[in-house]
Amino acid sequence: MKEINQIGLITGGGDCPGLNSVIRAVTKSAILNYGLEVIGFLDGFKGLVEDNYIQLDLRRVSGISHIGGTILGTTNRDNPFNYYTDIAGQPQSSDQSERAMNNMRNLGLDGLIVIGGDGSLHIANQFAQKGVKVVGVPKTIDNDLAATDVTFGFNTAVDTASDALDKLHTTAESHHRVMILEVMGRYAGWIALHAGLSGSADVILIPEIPYNIDAVVAKITQRYRQGKKFSIIVVAEGAAPENGEMVVQNLVPTSHDPIRLGGIGQKVAEEIGGRLSQIEIRVTVLGHLQRGGSPIPYDRILATRYGVAAVDALMAGKYGTMVSLRGNEIINVPIVEAIKDLRKVDPNGSMIRVARSVGVSFGDR
Ligand code: F6P
């Protein structure tokens, strides 16, 4: 008898392009290579607690790799170890992890693959400590997970943001305006940096480099004097001025990370407007467009590699690990390594140096 016969799959946290590619790869490789049964829990860890799942077979996962979102549904709120239920109209939290453990036992589940960012992988790690055979797959458009070079979904988000910049460029030039694009990324500036470089932004503001608005204004003015009467600014949602705070849009108390950022684009516009009243400024907030739509081929391939590697890792007994891309190799790293710290842009790293070399201002000098 094999040690592993049936595995469960969960997509947790905010969705991102490529989730379906992982679901397809896990299911196909589990069935075709190892003769396993696969079930998918619905709506993230909520499905594990509520015992809500579907059987995943070859037919169910056929033709889904190029489709955005997740056929299993997801949520960035439900944590079995701190699970909120509505009691007389009031959300109250309790530890429902034993209920989830019982469900897994009753189902005869031998292993669990968790596709998630740092919040979901924290939960995965807690289940690993309770003895569940868990393997994680690194997902997030933010690309902020430690212990992997890239998370799947990130490059599609960059593609979307870069396309938006191309479009903003033409209208900025026609109207001689300053165009500000606010992108996601939480506390890391990866999306802003990569999209900004790809989309030839003049100014990129990221959380890792606090900005000084006078430096931003100086860049716009310098361009104006050179006859370039428009400028493109990319602002990461987590960017903040020197000695200033990030702009919090709202709080989601039931979430692993309750802070939702947003609004820095408008703030930067007002700060510039206060100093350059003769220039027109417009703000675009790209928002959840970055999370939706079809994954680009890079993400479909990476997600497929991760999915296959996750099943291989479970079968090889590499429990409590996460699949990770290092160079061009997929390896396994302890989940604890991945959730230890957020991976942020190195302000002195080569990407920043390259950007500065082609004249990009980070608003700091
Ligand atoms: O972590 C992914 C992400 O899209 C962040 O970039 C963003 O800050 C957050 O999730 C938005 O969360 P929500 O889906 O709750 O609006």
Nearest CA to ligand 1 atom 8: 186
Looking at residue 30, what is its pLDDT?
98
Tokens of 197: 């470089």
Tokens 């397809």 belong to 24
CATH architecture of 154-292+346-357: 3-Layer(aba) Sandwich (3.40)
Task: Residue 131: count other Cβ atoms within 10 Å of its Cβ.
Answer: 9
Nearest CA to ligand 1 atom 14: 14
Looking at residue 1, what is its pLDDT?
61
Ligand 1 geometric centre to CA of 115 (Å): 16
Domain boundaries, the chain: 6-152+294-338, 154-292+346-357
Nearest CA to ligand 1 atom 10: 14
Ligand 1 geometric centre to CA of 156 (Å): 15
Atom from ligand 1 closest to the CA of residue 144? 1
Ligand 1 geometric centre to CA of 14 (Å): 6
Ligand 1 geometric centre to CA of 140 (Å): 9
Helix, strand, coil shares, percent, the chain, to 5: 35, 25, 40
6-152+294-338 and 154-292+346-357: same fold? Answer: yes
Q: What residues does ligand 1 touch, defined as CB less than 6 Å away?
A: 14, 76, 117, 140-142, 184-186, 237, 260-261, 291
Name the stretches of the chain with pLDDT < 50: none
Work out the angle at residue 140's Cα, subtended by the Cα atoms of residues 313 and 97, and round it to the nearest 5 degrees: 65
Q: Does residue 346 have an active-site annotation?
A: no
Ligand 1 geometric centre to CA of 250 (Å): 12
Looking at residue 253, what is its pLDDT?
86
Atom from ligand 1 closest to the CA of residue 237? 8
Nearest CA to ligand 1 atom 11: 260
Looking at residue 100, what is its pLDDT?
98
Atom from ligand 1 closest to the CA of residue 288? 4
Nearest CA to ligand 1 atom 16: 260
Tokens 């705070």 belong to 245
Estimate to the nearest angstrom the gap between the alpha carbon of 51 and the chain centroid. 26
Q: Find residue 113's DSSP bridge partners.
A: 9, 135
From 142, 144, 299, 312, the catalytic residue: 142
Residue 220 DSSP class: H
190/179 Cα distance (integer angstroms) = 20
Tokens of 144: 């902020």
Looking at residue 362, what is its pLDDT?
98
CATH architecture of 6-152+294-338: 3-Layer(aba) Sandwich (3.40)
